[in-house]
Structure 1
Amino acid sequence: MSLHDRRDSIPSGYTEIGVASDDTILHMRINIAMGNRTGLEDALSTANIQYYATPTREALHSVRKWLSSNNINSQATTVSGDWIKFNITVGAANTMLNAKYTIFEYTASGKQSVRTLEYSVPEDLQEHIKAIHPASSFYHSSGGRVISITGHHHSTGSASNGASEDASSSASSSTSAAQFSDCNATVTPACIQKLYGLPTKLVSSKTNSTIGVSGFLKEDANKADLTSFLKFFRPDIPSTTTFGTELLDDATNSQDLADAGLEAYTIGLANGIPTTFLDVGNVNLDGFGGFLDIINALLAERNPPLVLTTSYGGDESGLSERLAFAMCDALMKLTARGVSILYSSGDGGVAGSRLNPECNDKPFLPTWPACPYVTSVGATGNIPEKAADLSAGGFSNQFGQPSWQQKAVATYLGKIGNLYEGKYNRSGRGYPDVSAQGEKIQIIKSGGVEAVEGTSASSPIFAATIALLNDELLSAGKPPLGFLNPWIYANPEAFNDITSGSNPGCNTEGFPALPGWDPVTGVGSPNYPAMKKALGLS
């Protein structure tokens, strides 16, 4: 056996509780090396995904033979070609991986995880196995969440008197549409449409543009709240407009108002573009499994949504580099299907996915995913726009800078000189890529109007913008945008450049927003007319 992965110490905030019981069940996944990863990366071609991504016959046979020798036979299932998943007891996993699975508790929440700080695989499988999970990757919960969520969302006030079965009438009893006319006080769909020049006309019922919205942790998409939201904030959209639901990992998408989530802005801005809520249950209590299940489920579909927005994430340090790269490869395969993938960048400024005092006077904390195939969305506030303090941004410690952003990042680093030298990885992938409004966002949740903030509001807003552009592209007989990042950096004039504000954290003022790309707001916020021009649509 050869050591395959090791974490040198228990992550900050965790305490070792004791050895895990041998009969504890682990939902295990093994990622097998693609047959030709470089070919897929170069081609990013829908027609050739399986050709490039499927492991070699030797790799798949060798790994299955090893599993069989450990009594894992017919239960092992191959998913999306290069992943195998199965259930295994801790006792069997300890033997198979020469590991010591242990119970760890995240002190702030009391949530427990079963992990091992190191594991091994047979030497002849080293080249075939990319990553195994759960093993040495950790996520911690915040506010009852399974993982470090990027915002979702910090409440900044409420304009309602409480829950009601008809939120629109409840809202109107204490508020009126006129109260939301000041876009520096309350950000509504009308404010966003005006600010970014978004179209207001409903799309054709024959549109081929589609959106997928990820949901985790029983934060469900509530149809009553959506109806009320449309009646109150978008009366021009039929209040009967709804969404499709795809249930994963034993999710139920409860319609109890107490379980309602906060993703109405996707539908509220998309003018009738079909939207699917991808609801992930709590089978995978480690957090990571749900992210992977969404990607693999979409890869298996003939026509996956053309835009996927996810308002959840974590700190990069929680994932082993092996697992981070394996997940990034899964995301790369989805972009090869023509899907634009957006994730919120996080709400902790340079302190990571959420404001973390543990990094004071220490290096900045990058957020996950910084995968180059993800478009990371930061947050702005106010009109004229400035960077929102909460907007997480910085540089990855795991992924290098892709060619398409090297010039923009080098220009920024040249401007700031030796500012915060040693606190971040100057050669790392910079994020976010873009930004959108993320403060004072008006929503209806559990029957009442609330103001919320977070990059987890910004990502759905940007996703709706891309979906609207896709509608116009497809109507003109052109392909959808697909993988966004190279196009974004090649067309900075298509965005509103944000040049003021910063993202404080770790006992610093954070990175300053400057002309051009910056690690607070990316290349800027949407400018729909300019985006259309860059795409040859006007």
Structure 2
Amino acid sequence: MSRVLQVSCPRASQNVVHERLHAAPHEFSLRGPTPANQTLTFRIGLQNNNFAGLEAALYASSTPGSPQYGQHLTREEVSNFMAPSPDAVSQLHAWLATQNITSTSANRAGDWVRVSMTVGQANALFDTTFSTFTHAETGTHVVRTMSYSIPLSLAGHVNFVYPTVHFPVKALGGPAVKKVDRATSSALKARAGSADNSCLSIFNVTCAMDLYGIPWTAVPQTSNRLVVPGFVGEYANEFNLAIFLNTFRPDMNNQTTWTLETIDGGINDQTLSLAGSEANLDTQWTIGVANGVNVTFFSVGPDNIDSVSGFLDLVEVLTYDSEPLTVLSTSYAFNEANLNPTIAQSMCDAYAALTAQGVSIIFSSGDGGVSGGQTQSCTTFQPTFPSTCPYVTSVGATSGVNPEGAAYFSGGGFSNIFARPSYQNTVVPEFLSTIGNIYSGLYSPSGRAFPDVSAAGDAIEIVWQTEYGLVGGTSASTPIFASIIAMINSELMAAGKPPLGFLNNWIYQNPSAFTDITYGSNPGCNQNGFPAGTGWDPVTGFGSPLYDKLRTAAGL
């Protein structure tokens, strides 16, 4: 799927093609023109007036040693940085008025605008023809066009209009579950001591607490909130959580649960047969590891072929409208190549606006092989988004104990959209010097490299549909690392200090707070792939967390 962006035209009053799609994705077939009276809703992304200022403030507040370290921005300050120029807003409204269309701001900053109109109005406004396409696997109908135009005077103000040429993209996530006999489980091993070889076949909460030195006792802070979202019809189940806590955290109240929030038509379906493996994994492990931390499960509308709208809506709600949070842990990802670069860039900028408020945004790095039922082709050299966004922390996966090695499925690599951020300017060239030209042309060495860190992601035990099972993938390692950050935030807040917020500048200054993973690789296609080695690498990042050293690095 290729796109051409055209924004040049000799007359300012004339419309110009803003985005063009040469062909629909192969899984969609054309049905014909969409009826003129059908209603469509669009999201228009406007250029921020001072994103460079927001990025500078974000880096100043998250870089140890900076005079502004820990001084996170308020929502009002973020809104001021992200707002579009008044000229852009007035020109947009004047253009919409030509078709008697009014708009509403999709967020407090006003850089994303929503408009509803008929297909007939849209055809006239965008100088195009909208058509209906059918998704081959699900039979779902979507309305899209192959190109659209906007006035030249708006070309420098409008980033994108969604959805127009942007066909649905489903987020990857939701590991398969392998059921396990409780008689052979390691769940009953002694709670104290180090993670032993029983953790090789079944890795449970005790293994994680022992391996990473995570404290069992809570340091409750009412304002410390960890958010985990569920997409593509994934629902967390409270009965399964109670069984999980009874088995693995008998020291906790087994009635402990999450706070539910819904957007885009999300629901709280407690039907056991619909209990999602990813949603159960994320809620069980964050609540089970991050004792005393408030966990919120965001159920995002169950669109099973398009997750982009849900991702966009979630970050907007968290940035401007929901109760404050300190950690966002997401175990879903897109193949970067499947996203329009303008959409990816706008979403990444939105993550910067959220993390600037003191939120640690943590994403799984994706599975670069076959893991948990998710198969991706050649993903060693296929970067995943949002891990490639410079303003999030990406988590890879390890396998085994004593020592840990790189999990063969741990996704990692280099972005083709985002440039290498300054915090990687030392470690990435050092890694590249060790591999020479072996994969030259298969990846972009100047791109944002990922993952940043890693954690256990193999044979992770959960309760699913009232039975015990094992899952694997970076979607399992992500909630483990997120829980550790949430626990450290509790200690910081109890000491009267701000939460960590954006993590990467802090992480890259403290590599000794991680166990370096020096063997293994993510083979991907044809057994080729980046190797783990001494120092940072695009398989496990700096390695797995050491709680005591992390809390010391945090000033505790």
User: Shared fold (TM-score greater than 0.5)?
Assistant: yes
Q: Are positions 1:198 and 2:214 aligned together?
A: yes
Letter in 2 for 1:342: I
User: Which residue does the alignment assign to 2:27?
Assistant: 14
Q: Are positions 1:524 and 2:543 aligned together?
A: yes
Q: Are positions 1:290 and 2:310 aligned together?
A: yes
CA RMSD of aligned residues (A): 2.4
Letter in 1 for 2:296: T
Letter in 2 for 1:46: L
Q: Are positions 1:463 and 2:479 aligned together?
A: no
Q: Deviations along 1:354-388, whole A, 9 cap, x unmatched?
A: 5334x59xx92211111111111111111121111
Q: Are positions 1:177 and 2:177 aligned together?
A: no
SS at 2:116 equivalent: strand
User: Which residue does the alignment assign to 2:41?
Assistant: 27
Candidates 503, 506, 525, aligned match of 1:506 = 525
When residues 497 and 3 of structure 1 are mapped into structure 2, their CA distance, relative to the original with a 3 A threshold, is: same
User: Which residue does the alignment assign to 2:384?
Assistant: 367
Given that 2:219 and 2:491 are in contact with CA atoms closer than 8 Å, whether structure 1 keeps it comes out as no
Q: Deviations along 1:223-281, whole A, 9 cap, x unmatched?
A: 11111110011111110111111111111111111222322101110012111111111
Distance (Å, rounded) in 2 between the aligned partners of 1:246 and 1:76: 23
User: Which residue does the alignment assign to 1:188?
Assistant: 204
Q: Are positions 1:56 and 2:85 aligned together?
A: yes
Letter in 2 for 1:377: V
User: Which residue does the alignment assign to 1:46?
Assistant: 73
Given that 2:187 and 2:206 are in contact with CA atoms closer than 8 Å, whether structure 1 keeps it comes out as no
SS at 1:346 equivalent: coil
When residues 423 and 297 of structure 1 are mapped into structure 2, their CA distance, relative to the original with a 3 A threshold, is: same
| 1:309-388 equivalence runs, <5 A | 309-349=329-369, 354-357=374-377, 359=378, 364-369=381-386, 370-383=388-401, 384-388=403-407
When residues 216 and 430 of structure 1 are mapped into structure 2, their CA distance, relative to the original with a 3 A threshold, is: same
Given that 2:330 and 2:478 are in contact with CA atoms closer than 8 Å, whether structure 1 keeps it comes out as yes
Letter in 2 for 1:532: R
Q: Are positions 1:259 and 2:274 aligned together?
A: yes
Q: Deviations along 1:39-61, whole A, 9 cap, x unmatched?
A: 11111351321221111211111
When residues 9 and 302 of structure 1 are mapped into structure 2, their CA distance, relative to the original with a 3 A threshold, is: closer
Letter in 2 for 1:214: P
What TM-score do you get using the length of structure 2 for normalisation? 0.86
SS at 2:223 equivalent: coil
SS at 1:76 equivalent: strand
Distance (Å, rounded) in 2 between the aligned partners of 1:19 and 1:321: 27
Count of paired positions? 511
Q: Percent identity?
A: 43
SS at 1:379 equivalent: strand
| 1:42-441 equivalence runs, <5 A | 42-44=56-58, 45-47=72-74, 48-73=77-102, 76-81=104-109, 82-104=111-133, 107=136, 113-140=142-169, 147-150=170-173, 152-155=174-177, 157-159=178-180, 177-178=187-188, 182-204=198-220, 206-261=221-276, 262=280, 263=282, 264-282=284-302, 286-301=306-321, 303-349=323-369, 354-357=374-377, 359=378, 364-369=381-386, 370-383=388-401, 384-441=403-460
Aligned-pair distance for 1:348?
A: 2.6
Aligned-pair distance for 1:465?
A: 0.6
When residues 274 and 51 of structure 1 are mapped into structure 2, their CA distance, relative to the original with a 3 A threshold, is: same
Given that 2:367 and 2:376 are in contact with CA atoms closer than 8 Å, whether structure 1 keeps it comes out as no
Aligned-pair distance for 1:178?
A: 3.4
SS at 2:526 equivalent: coil
Given that 1:14 and 1:104 are in contact with CA atoms closer than 8 Å, whether structure 2 keeps it comes out as no
Distance (Å, rounded) in 2 between the aligned partners of 1:24 and 1:392: 42
Distance (Å, rounded) in 1 between the aligned partners of 2:79 and 2:168: 31
What TM-score do you get using the length of structure 1 for normalisation? 0.89
Q: Deviations along 1:423-442, whole A, 9 cap, x unmatched?
A: 01111110111111111000
Distance (Å, rounded) in 2 between the aligned partners of 1:284 and 1:121: 31
When residues 453 and 102 of structure 1 are mapped into structure 2, their CA distance, relative to the original with a 3 A threshold, is: farther
Q: Deviations along 1:188-217, whole A, 9 cap, x unmatched?
A: 00000111111111223x453220111112
Q: Deviations along 1:48-99, whole A, 9 cap, x unmatched?
A: 21221111211111112212222321x6344232111133344433332233
Structure 1 outlier segments of 4+, above 6 Å: none
Given that 1:498 and 1:513 are in contact with CA atoms closer than 8 Å, whether structure 2 keeps it comes out as yes
When residues 453 and 387 of structure 1 are mapped into structure 2, their CA distance, relative to the original with a 3 A threshold, is: same
Q: Deviations along 1:16-57, whole A, 9 cap, x unmatched?
A: 333352355433111111121111111135132122111121
SS at 2:224 equivalent: coil
User: Which residue does the alignment assign to 1:166?
Assistant: none
Letter in 2 for 1:523: F
